[in-house]
Amino acid sequence: MLTTDRAHYMLGEPIVAIVEISNHTSAAITVPTLFDPTYGIYRYWITSPDGSRKRFEPAWLDEMDRAITAQLAAGGKIRGYARLFHASNGTPFGQAGAYKISVTTGTMQSPEWALSIDAPPDDRARHAAELMLSPDVTLFLLAGGGETLKDARPNLESVSNSYAETAVAPYADFALGVYYALDSRDFVHKNVRPADPVRSRTLLERSLGSNALPSSFRQKAYLHLVQIALDRNDAVGAEGYVTQYQSKYGRETDAADAVDSMRQLVEKSRNNLLRK
């Protein structure tokens, strides 16, 4: 099955699909677990409002062990995320209208999932959407940064600072928050931009304020916030983010895995301190 967090999105919001495989047989099966299109295992198809259907072509293929699999017991399920907002063969959801998406791998094929990209309600929202749909911005969001993407930061900062009331503003805050969470290397100009944890925390917390972010973005934001707190030796703050996430989103399908990832960061930090 392939779904999304909701059936309606505003133009300019990045689309992330949720892929779920269920084992309806009476025996265990082996399934690949790298769902993102950048791994090249699962293939995604998009039917546009004009009725044309084409394969989503990822921006790159990640070079890692694509043989990573999981044993799925009889009656079991496994799910993951697929980022579909930046493709090498054109902007996937660049206009308002009705879309359908599906996924295939091997002999498996999902039913089509329908979603609607809604037109912005006014000129300000339309301009913000245009800024977010820039290929530099979508690639920056996909990669978690990019020093040579000249339109990315100016566009994102414009949306974050000047169009904060729009539906796409939390994504701009998220993208910039992730960017400032880590050091960034500019191999063209041969310099390093050091991380700015204070700025990152402010942006990530703001991105979460409206509860508009889909689950995949939200989980990443909390993971970064936990790590930022730990890097500042603030174990109490890190635990606070974990508790906050559990309180707000603990009933979501994959919340337990997200909490486990946060707990692993806390435990790793604790063990590192004990070794010193």
Tell me how crowded residue 275 is: count the other CB atoms within 10 A of its CB.
Answer: 5
Domain containing 231 equals: 214-276
Q: Give the C-alpha distances (Å, rounded to integers) separating 170 from 57, 94, 96, 102, 163.
A: 26, 19, 20, 27, 10
Q: What is the CATH number of the domain that holds 83?
A: 2.60.40.10
Q: Which pLDDT does position 274 carry in this prediction? A: 78
Q: Is there a single domain that holds both residue 189 and residue 271?
A: no
Q: Is there a single domain that holds both residue 134 and residue 172?
A: yes
For residues 19 and 275, the model is more confident at 19
Q: Is there a single domain that holds both residue 125 and residue 105?
A: no
The sign of the torsion formed by the CA atoms of 40, 43, 44, 45 equals positive
Q: Is there a single domain that holds both residue 185 and residue 81?
A: no
Q: Which of 213, 246, 264 is the last residue of a domain?
A: 213
Instruction: Please tell me the total number of residues recorded for the chain in this structure.
Output: 276
| Model pLDDT for residues 79-125, shown as the tens digit of each residue | 999 999 999 999 999 999 999 999 999 888 999 999 999 999 999 99
User: How many structural domains are present in the chain?
Assistant: 3
pLDDT at 189 over 70: no
> Are 23 and 77 within 8 A, CB to CB?
yes
Q: Is there a single domain that holds both residue 172 and residue 227?
A: no
| Model pLDDT for residues 128-186, shown as the tens digit of each residue | 999 999 999 999 999 999 988 999 999 999 999 999 999 999 999 999 999 999 988 77
The sign of the torsion formed by the CA atoms of 227, 230, 232, 236 equals positive
Q: In angstroms, rounded to a whole number, what is the distance separating the alpha carbons of residues 184 and 145? A: 8
pLDDT at 66 over 70: no
Q: Is there a single domain that holds both residue 206 and residue 106?
A: no
Q: Is there a single domain that holds both residue 20 and residue 90?
A: yes
Q: Which of 213, 237, 268 is the last residue of a domain?
A: 213
Q: In angstroms, rounded to a whole number, what is the distance separating the alpha carbons of residues 235 and 69? A: 34
Q: How confident is the model at residue 276 (pLDDT cuts 50, 70, 90)?
A: low
Q: How confident is the model at residue 191 (pLDDT cuts 50, 70, 90)?
A: confident
Q: Is there a single domain that holds both residue 110 and residue 98?
A: yes
Q: In angstroms, rounded to a whole number, what is the distance separating the alpha carbons of residues 55 and 223? A: 31
Q: Chain-centre distance of CA 248, in angstroms? A: 19
Q: Which pLDDT does position 238 carry in this prediction? A: 97
- As beta bridge partners, residue 27 has none
Q: Is there a single domain that holds both residue 73 and residue 83?
A: yes
Q: Which of 118, 146, 162 is the last residue of a domain?
A: 118
Which has the minimum average pLDDT: 2-6, 28-32, 65-69?
Answer: 65-69
Q: Is there a single domain that holds both residue 150 and residue 97?
A: no
Q: In angstroms, rounded to a whole number, what is the distance separating the alpha carbons of residues 165 and 156? A: 14
| Model pLDDT for residues 223-249, shown as the tens digit of each residue | 999 999 999 999 999 999 999 999 999
Q: Which two tokens stand for residue 89?
A: 């063969």
